Structure 1
Amino acid sequence: MGKPASFSTKDRILGAAEELFAQYGFAGTSLRQVTSHADVNIAAVNYHFGSKDNLVNEVFRRRMDEMSAARLSQLEQARTAHPGELRPLLAAFVEPALAMAQDRQSGGAFVRVIARAYAEKNDNLRKFLSDHYGHVLREFGKAIGACVPGLSKEELYWRLDFLAGSLTYAMADFGLIKRPHNISEAAHRSKAAQELIHFAEAGFRASARAPDSTSLT
């Protein structure tokens, strides 16, 4: 019976940390707040995570592992079922992320945590995400690049970066397009996914910039 209790304690700490990080940010949340919210003592946090930085990392791992696995699985299916087609690859990148964001019980707070990560520029977290999930972006970059061979690697990754930023914005549901009252959240998210995929496909298929087009003026 001790092992399930241990996992329950760890999950409570992660859930409390995620909620507090979403509300107050990483710098603005103390371990004492986390322990109070999770109803555990500081020794439990030290035992399971060792440090606040590790706790931040594990909050991301809990969501990112599942989302990354879903993305890579859908990517492989797209490569097999639709070889050479760009749209299914983009769907494999977009849809699992929006599905997680739609799950308010497990994903809502995490979307706000992602926004905090963009705002606070946590170097330790940035390295953790690069080390553990950079391969996912590289796999998508390789697959998408094969569909748009006219783009240089630099242009490809600029566009992939813009897609990731747009996706984060869509996950936060903070845009101009609000869900109509007569449309379910699932239908609204599906519409958002299709619009983003359509937009991204046009972006990736746009002509490469001329070598001397470096000025914005």
Structure 2
Amino acid sequence: MSRPSQQIDALLIASGMALLPETGCAGLSVRKLTEHAGVNLGMFHYHFKSKDNFIRAVLQRLYEAMFTDLQVQADSGADAVSALQAAFTVLGAFARANRKLLFMLVSEALRGEALPLQFLRENLPRHLAIIVRLVQRGQAEGRIVPVPVPQLLPFLAGGIVGPILAGGAIERQGTLAPELAGLAQLALLSEQALAQRIELALRAIAVQP
């Protein structure tokens, strides 16, 4: 049976995951967070000490769950191209599920907000390193074109994940007519569209037989 303190911790984290995509880091109110979680304000300070500590904990928990799955797919023993396809499927699914939060983080980082900027600086290189390793392995296997990896990365990321961030921005602004918003959802954010973009991007960098 879980200790009460662990249950309170989990309640706060769950509320943080629900609220942060709407408020961003700067706009999160500790009082509204504790009200949402049904937790005493004093217990928040007991567990996390400060809002910044809490936000770091929420963001890192989300990221680590994705990163663990990413490592499993990258080390699955499949050939490099198949592992790369699986890795981008993990990254794309994470971006789809958390697109509102990612849009807020990138927006705040571009404005110079310290906490999201630090989070992105610390974690972005981690999953990029896995993608780089898989691309290099694919090149060594003769399956991927021998183009400098720094040139391939923006192409892959922009073609696969970029539309998800664009779709998240469109969703947040809510400026499209319902029928156009539905088309954007299908073309940019659906699971099928993501799978198609991954297939097209990998086909584009594959060595032709």
Q: TM (normalized to structure 1)?
A: 0.70
8 Å contact kept, 1:101–1:111? yes
Partner residue, 2:84: 90
Whole-Å Cα distance in 2 between the matches of residues 153 and 13 of structure 1? Answer: 41
1-structure distance, mates of 2:206, 2:64: 30
Please provide the CA RMSD for this pair: 3.2
1:56 CA drift (Å) = 1.6
TM-score (normalizing by structure 2): 0.72
CA deviation profile, 1:129-172 (whole Å, cap 9, x unmatched): 44346322202112113334622243134335425642643884
1:117 aligned to which of 105, 119, 141: 105
Fraction of identical pairs, as percent: 21
Report the Cα offset of residue 115 of structure 1: 1.6
Higher-helix-fraction structure: 2
Q: What are the residue-to-residue correspondences of 1:66-145 with 2, within 5 Å?
A: 66-77=65-76, 80-82=77-79, 85-86=80-81, 88-100=82-94, 107=97, 110-121=98-109, 122-132=113-123, 134-145=125-136
Q: How far apart are residue 55 of structure 1 and its match?
A: 1.6
Distance in 2 of aligned mates of 1:100 and 1:45: 28
Note the residue ranges of structure 1 that are not aligned, 5 or more in a row.
207-217
Whole-angstrom CA distance in 2 between matches of 1:163 and 1:69: 24
SS of the counterpart of 1:150? coil
2:41 maps to 1:42: yes
Secondary structure class of the residue paired with 1:27? helix
Distance change >3 Å, CA 157–CA 71, structure 1 → 2? same
Q: How far off is 1:39 after superposition?
A: 1.6
Distance in structure 1 (CA, Å) of the matches to 2:186 and 2:158: 24
Distance 1:55 1:171, change over 3 A: farther
Partner in structure 2 of residue 65 of structure 1: 64
Q: Structure 2: 5+ residue runs without aligned partners? A: 139-143, 172-180
| 1:1-20 equivalence runs, <5 A | 3-20=2-19
Question: Aligned residues, how many?
Answer: 187
